[in-house]
Amino acid sequence: MKKIKVAPSLPENVEVNEIGENRSEVIAYPFESGYAITLAHPLRRLILGSSVGYAPISVKIEGAVHEFDSIRGMHEDVAVFIINLKNIRFKLAEGVNRVEVNYSFTGPKEITAANLINDEIEVVNPEAFLATLNEDAVLNFSVVISKGLGYVQSEDLKDDVEPDAIALDAFFTPVKKCNYEIDNVLVEDNPNYEKITFDIETDGQTSPVDAFTNALETMHKQLSVFNGVLDVEINATPVKRTNEDSEIKVYLEQIDSLGLSARSFNSLDRSGIKYVGELVLMNANEIKNIKNLGKKSLDEIAETLENLGYGEDFELADNTRVNLVKKIEQLKESSE
């Protein structure tokens, strides 16, 4: 017999399991039916989008004017050197948001990320390769490393770098992967309680647990905007929503919430795509055929959907798909 409740029960169990290098599981249960997805989805997005990391944002190379230049005695072109540099994951001291570091190397030498470590910076992947110098080569360069969130295009960093420096696309996010699973658990005689299992992997700039904790703090700060809301008289009648309504709601967020580059966003917007659910409903070929969507934008959108758990293997339930199509049509009709 179902018991009458006056408040939802609170989960009591939290487990943290280290399952690999820089990879951990965070497990919480038991949640009331429908509560797990309500918490898991926004937390996952915050873990992916609000975790602080470090990245090089500009480089100055003696003898190089632009990124398509070459350096005498260095095997790699400047463009390849920059790609290798962006693959190195730096880390600054606590409280330091930005540093400029100068380097000088002479050949013959194979330069790796380990050679860039000094008193100002750490490197979490010291084995990463940077460049190879011939015996008569001299390589002098300086790198600006900054603390930040998410992904920032080089075009948006022009005002933050010196005129004679090459601005770099900055991928700050230290979280490589964050997925969650929701399973049913038995509580007394009720099998409909839920358990969330987060699987979080980082690049080593921060630990998975710290990334999770940071997301919780960010969520708390964002929700603090509603502090004191009970002091406001509310006359609206509450709307009863089903679990399916809660599931569909996450797909009705507008595409600007994905944090895409201006180029990708504008291509989708011009094609009339306004909501995340429209992309989720498309297969890879349908997304590829969106008008004016270049390969770089296509790769960015595919990676973003993959990071959010909506990759090629993701499938919507038939009833959810039908209801989502109806909801999107209604929203578009009401906005016309």
List CB contacts of 98: < 8 A, sequence separation 6 or more: 92, 144, 145, 146, 147
List, for residues 159-173, the tens digit of each pLDDT value: 888 888 999 999 999
List, for residues 113-132, the tens digit of each pLDDT value: 999 999 999 999 999 999 99
Instruction: State the average pLDDT over residues 67-92.
Output: 94
Q: Residue 83: pLDDT above 60?
A: yes
Instruction: State the average pLDDT over residues 272-298.
Output: 85
CATH 3.10.110.10 for the 242-336 domain, yes or no? no
One DSSP character per residue, 134-192 reads: -TT-EEEEEEEEEEESSEE-GGGGGGGS-TTSEE--EE---EEEEEEEEEEEEETTEEE
CA distance 153 to 35: 36
For the record, the structure tokens of 50 come out as: 């609000």
Confidence of residue 142 (pLDDT cuts 50, 70, 90): very high
In this structure, the number of other CB atoms found within 10 A of the CB of residue 299 comes to 11
CA distance 137 to 239: 71
Give strand pairing partners of 178: 200
Q: Where are the domains of the chain?
A: 10-51+173-222, 57-145, 242-336
In angstroms, what is the C-alpha Rg of the chain?
A: 24
Question: 57-145 has which CATH code?
Answer: 2.170.120.12
Q: Residue 336: pLDDT above 70?
A: no
Secondary structure element (H or E) that encloses residue 267, with its range: helix 262-270
CA distance 110 to 38: 50
| % of the chain beyond a pLDDT of 70 | 91
Superfamily holding 10-51+173-222: RNA polymerase, RBP11-like subunit (3.30.1360.10)
In this structure, the number of other CB atoms found within 10 A of the CB of residue 322 comes to 11
Q: Which of 52, 57, 261 minimizes the C-alpha distance to 159?
A: 57
In this structure, the number of other CB atoms found within 10 A of the CB of residue 311 comes to 12
CA distance 158 to 196: 42
Instruction: State the average pLDDT over residues 48-72.
Output: 92
List, for residues 217-267, the tens digit of each pLDDT value: 999 888 877 776 555 443 434 433 344 454 567 788 888 878 788 788 888
